[in-house]
Structure formats: structure tokens, C-alpha cells
């Protein structure tokens, strides 16, 4: 049996012979760039651009996997590259942007909250990777890291949009950061939307609803996006409570 180093060498040789699929990895690279851009803009005190960069990274992250599946270019390299890029865009970037925005002024509690979020993002991604083959595709276990990043970035974007003084919402910023981090590593169930079939016909009102959502997002992007992700983050608590109560009732009826 090959030892660990020999297995890694064999895997590298296979990857080298097969090459790397360019199209899906370009989306992943763009995701990484958007996360890095967010960090740079936070260092330059452009927090609105930093928040937008995180949302752009989230959009690009939702595309790379779909492009890989549509073009049948999935690969182990792409999966690892995507995970590492997500750690930058949805782990390090939101924590650093939030820290530079207001948590720096909170003192020790501020950097601890930022580190807690960053560490929870790393744990969430690691757990997702090891459970990929056995997890129920309909649900995510814990809040997905892009949604957690959207909570943090949305809080900053709304405050900037409405000229809210960051100093007046320090406690709220700490709460959002810690809540997003801990919810990522929870066992709550979040709908993954992977079971939605885009090739299937839908009623007319669904298309109309999509048009209304797009129009509202164009009108108030910060408010609509933040509100949507707040609702999604709360949905895990609601769904998990409902499933728990249903199991209790089923057990009590026996």
C-alpha cells in the first residue's frame, strides 16, 4: 500500500497529466479576486466597496460549480481551489472588513469577535468538504459561509447607505459577527436550493415574483439583500425547530 506522500505524488502526477479546466476555475479565481479586493478596499476605508466586493464574490461562487457541472469539467483541483477561495472571500475578508469598520474600536472584544467568525468559517468549510459525499443534498448543515458573509457585509453596506455612524451600532456589529460565525458551525438545517430544477416550467406568478424581487433589488440593493439573508439565516432556526417538534410528535404518538 502506498504511503501518504506517495499517494499525494501520484495525485499530483494525475492532475499534471490531465491539466486544469480553465472555465470554472476562472470563476473561482474571480471569486478570490473579489474577496481580496474587499480586504484592500477596507484598508483604504472604502467600506461600501468592500461590502459590494463580498457580494460579488458570493455571486461568482454560485456560478463556478454550476458552470463545472454544465460543462462536465468538475475536478478535485477545482473543488480544493474553490474551498480555499471561499476561505478568503467568506472567512478572512468579512472578518477583516468588519474589524476595520468598527470592531477595532471595541478593543479586545472586537478582534476576538472577528477571529471567532474567521475560525468558524474555516471549520464550516472543512466540515462541508469531509461530509460532501454523505450529506443530504437538499440541506446545508449550518449556515453556508457565503450567507454568513452576506450578513456581515450587508450590515456594513446598509449603515454606509443610510449614513449610520458605525460607533452607534458597535454592539449590533459584534452581535452580527458572532451570530454569523456560530450559526455557521451549528447543526441547523438550511435549504440548499439544489433541488430546484431550472428546466421545469413554473406558474406565471413565480416569474412575476422574480421580476418584483429584481426590481426591488435594483431600487434598494443593500436593504433587499441584507433583509433576504437575515430571513435565510433565521430560517434555519425555524426549520430545525419544526423538524424537532415533528419528531417529538411522531415519537409521542407511538
Look at residue 74 in the predicted model and tell me its pLDDT: 79
Look at residue 246 in the predicted model and tell me its pLDDT: 87
pLDDT range class, residue 2, cuts 50, 70, 90: very low
pLDDT range class, residue 15, cuts 50, 70, 90: very low
B/e letters for 187-221, b = 16+ CB within 10 Å, e = fewer, are ebbbeeeeeeeeeeeeeeeeeeeeeeeeeeeeeee
For the chain, domain boundaries: 15-252
Architecture of domain 15-252 in this structure: Up-down Bundle (1.20)
Number of helices and strands (H, E) in the chain? 10, 2
More confident residue, 2 or 84: 84
Average pLDDT of span 69-87:
86
* Mean residue pLDDT across the chain: 88
Percent of the chain with pLDDT over 70: 89
Look at residue 136 in the predicted model and tell me its pLDDT: 76
pLDDT in tens, 169-190: 999 999 999 999 999 999 999 9
Look at residue 198 in the predicted model and tell me its pLDDT: 64
Amino acid at each position: 500500500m502506498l504511503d501518504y506522500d506517495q499517494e499525494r505524488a501520484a495525485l499530483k502526477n494525475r492532475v499534471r497529466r490531465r491539466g486544469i479546466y480553465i472555465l470554472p476555475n476562472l470563476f473561482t479565481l474571480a471569486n478570490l479576486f473579489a474577496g481580496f479586493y474587499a480586504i484592500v478596499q477596507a484598508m483604504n476605508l472604502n467600506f461600501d466597496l468592500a461590502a459590494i466586493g463580498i457580494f460579488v464574490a458570493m455571486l461568482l461562487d454560485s456560478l463556478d460549480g454550476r458552470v463545472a457541472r454544465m460543462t462536465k469539467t468538475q475536478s478535485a483541483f477545482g473543488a480544493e481551489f474553490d474551498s480555499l477561495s471561499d476561505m478568503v472571500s467568506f472567512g478572512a475578508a468579512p472578518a477583516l472588513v468588519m474589524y476595520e469598520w468598527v470592531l477595532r474600536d471595541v478593543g479586545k472584544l472586537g478582534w476576538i469577535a472577528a477571529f471567532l467568525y474567521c475560525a468558524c468559517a474555516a471549520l464550516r468549510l472543512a466540515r462541508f468538504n469531509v461530509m460532501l459525499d454523505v450529506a443530504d443534498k437538499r440541506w446545508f448543515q449550518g449556515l453556508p459561509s457565503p450567507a454568513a458573509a452576506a450578513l456581515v457585509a450587508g450590515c456594513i453596506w446598509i449603515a454606509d447607505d443610510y449614513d449610520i455612524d458605525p460607533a452607534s451600532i458597535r454592539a449590533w456589529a459584534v452581535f452580527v459577527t458572532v451570530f454569523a460565525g456560530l450559526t455557521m458551525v451549528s447543526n441547523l438545517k438550511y435549504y440548499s436550493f439544489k433541488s430546484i430544477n431550472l428546466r421545469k416550467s413554473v406558474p406565471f406568478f413565480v416569474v412575476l415574483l422574480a421580476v418584483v424581487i429584481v426590481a426591488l433589488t435594483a431600487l434598494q440593493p443593500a436593504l433587499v439583500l441584507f433583509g433576504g439573508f437575515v430571513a435565510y439565516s433565521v430560517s434555519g432556526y425555524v426549520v430545525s425547530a419544526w423538524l424537532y417538534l415533528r419528531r417529538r410528535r411522531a415519537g409521542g404518538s407511538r
